[in-house]
Structure 1
Amino acid sequence: MIMGFDVKAEVKLDATKSAELAAEGCVKGSNKLFELCFGKRMADNIRYAALTAAQTERDLQSVLSGEAEFRDGNIVPVTLPSVGNLLLDAERQQELENLHANLKIAYHELESVPDDEISDREVGSDFFARWRREAKVIGESDLQFIWGKVLAEEIRSPDSISYRTLDVIKNLTKREAEVFHKASGYIFNKHGVVMVEGKTSVTYNDIVVLSECGLVVPGVNGTMATFSDAIFYEGKKGCFTRFEGCVFVLLGEQRISIACSLLTEAGKQLYNIIDRKMMRKEDFVFVAGAMKVQRGDKISVRVLPLVDENRVDVSNLYFAGEV
């Protein structure tokens, strides 16, 4: 049972595929996804019965008026469809398939989320209307993966995705999404992309692409961002900064700065929901070299793997050196 709806009933809706998808699970996130698509009343057997009766009446009138005939158990239009109608039907079918694919990704993202991590607040109807309007025309699988995750994140935590972010993401091309995925391992503290031209896999051209599509702030590549979060490692005081999958520990009393291209709010929100890529190990030395010590002294650098958001694996060094 989902929200009082018997999923074994032979319910037939125009969006049958999406209905079947929503009915696959009964966890809190899936329930919210189902209600977004169909509304609570559509899950009511009484309303279904009333709709069925109304449709039956319409079918009867069509047969009596000669507009359709009852053939082999189906109501079949008497007139042949026009070319325009055929094209419209094909477009609607493609939109339905795209919408189903995007909803499927959102569903699978939500099915593994514990109920206590799903907000009780409802997703705004305007947000879902905007999401659905774009989702039905997004057919590229890589972009569907992002679009499905966007809806799942908004269901998990309403108001976490802004309308401006929707506008940015809906215009992403496959290439732009791939560039952002590559750059995700070079984003420190969810703040900005570090690029060492000619050294790291992220290039100046990549930064230009991300700027043009609205994921990094344009015209400020090389902005010096400073961090000084304290940490103790091997009995010494230092500071640290995070990249995807690892932490750079810098031993010494100094504040550290690093040149980066700052993420826009859309870039930050997208970074929070995508499957991120880790920095190449051979690039650790170049990124460490891009860090600037405030007083100009050399300091020791340790790169450690992250166990989770709050712990590192001190037994395993990715990189050690001086900058």
Structure 2
Amino acid sequence: MEIKDIAGISEPLKKLIEVISQGIGTLSNPYLIKKNAEARAHEIKVISEAIKGSQNNLQQIVYEHGQVSLLSLEDRTIGLDERVQQRVEFKEQKRQMNIESVTQMAAQHLDEENEVSKVDVDKDWTSRFFNYVEDISNEEMQGLWARILAGEVKEPKSFSLRTLQVLRNLSKEEAQTFSKVAQYAIKAGNDAFLLQGNNSEILDKYDIGFNEMALLKELDLLHSGDLVNHSLIRYEQDCSVAYLFGEKVVVVYKKANSPQKDIPIILFTTVGKQLLKLIKSKPNFSYLQHFAEEVNDNGISTKYGEVLEVCGSEIKHTNPLIEIPSL
């Protein structure tokens, strides 16, 4: 389905509408409008409260024309076929509301974008996404799924089917643990890792314990291997390497022919790296200082600055860079 000449709708939102139409087969443009979404959210809240209040006395719930009414089962005998139909209808209505909630959030994210990739979102990916998201009712988790949908619309192949599968089975508490640990992710090129250092207690200083690390390894978000090093190899000329720490960049300067430097790290998996795109990390500045202490050596020094823009592998930052003070 190609969307053309829709007044007032940006290119990113047009592409989102195309993806939605491919995923669920039907399209209702108004629910992408914030005002209407807020009204739907109010209706959902009223319905959920009515359902919660009716559980003890087993009343039937009727929702028509924006009104919720309760009918006692004592007033009416409901046959098996009708009870099955009501259960199926309630289940599907809840799923539809989940989908609409996620797509509305995604629309808000894309409304801030000026352009998106011309590449189409894979139809199998779209189908899998909506099959999963229809059963996501927690608002916080819906927010993660919305950002994935917006990210995939903006740049297809940003999130793999494997990542969708992992996220589908992620609980709210597990997602919160990942978000906490992801604050300390260091990005360099195609790699993302945590600083373990020669002092294995570094992460403990930031309240990241063994159980949390073990959980993320079990969830396939961190690699389970313990003996992993990030190496600053020997070059015959001066060189520099940039590392992203959220909104800050640390540049490591290495003089020609200085010895190789190995830094013990914990690597994020491919799935973990993709989910990092959903997290805005803000590590403590002391974490940068720990990194500098691990790296600084004869012929190696570090400086930092504020990130202005990241374009692929190019990092634009403030100048001049500043020396990292010792702990």
Between the two proteins, the alignment pairs up a number of residues equal to 261
CA distance in 2, matches of 1:229, 1:181: 35
TM-score by length of 1: 0.69
Partner residue, 1:28: 11
Q: Which amino acid aligns with 2:243?
A: T
**Residue 311 of structure 1 pairs with residue 313 of structure 2:** no
1:164-189 deviation digits (Å, cap 9, x = unpaired):
11111111121222222222232222
**Residue 207 of structure 1 pairs with residue 213 of structure 2:** yes
Partner residue, 2:51: none
Give matches, 1:190-229, under 5 Å: 190-195=191-196, 196-218=202-224, 220-227=225-232
TM-score by length of 2: 0.68
SS of 2:157's equivalent? coil
SS of 1:320's equivalent? coil
Identity %: 20
CA distance in 1, matches of 2:323, 2:145: 34
Partner residue, 2:288: 284
Q: Which amino acid aligns with 1:86?
A: Q
Greater alpha carbon shift after TM alignment, 189-198 vs 144-153:
189-198
Partner residue, 1:233: none
Partner residue, 1:112: 112
1:221-263 deviation digits (Å, cap 9, x = unpaired):
3511124699xxxxx9754422222122344424543222111
Q: Which amino acid aligns with 1:168?
A: V
Q: Which amino acid aligns with 2:136?
A: I
Partner residue, 1:137: 135
Q: Which amino acid aligns with 1:193?
A: L
CA distance in 2, matches of 1:120, 1:131: 20
Partner residue, 1:167: 165
Unaligned runs of 5+ in 1: 8-24, 44-71, 73-78, 231-235
Whether the 8 Å CA contact 1:193–1:261 is kept in 2: the answer is yes
Post-superposition offset of 1:137: 0.5
CA distance in 2, matches of 1:263, 1:30: 32
Post-superposition offset of 1:132: 0.3
Whether the 8 Å CA contact 2:98–2:134 is kept in 1: the answer is yes
Post-superposition offset of 1:129: 0.9
Post-superposition offset of 1:42: 6.5
**Residue 321 of structure 1 pairs with residue 322 of structure 2:** no
Unaligned runs of 5+ in 2: 28-64, 66-76, 197-201
| Change over 3 Å in CA distance of 1:311–1:101 after alignment to 2 | same
CA distance in 1, matches of 2:4, 2:88: 35
CA distance in 1, matches of 2:228, 2:152: 31
Whether the 8 Å CA contact 1:302–1:321 is kept in 2: the answer is no
Q: CA RMSD in A?
A: 3.5
Which of 239, 245, 248 is the equivalent residue of 1:246? 248
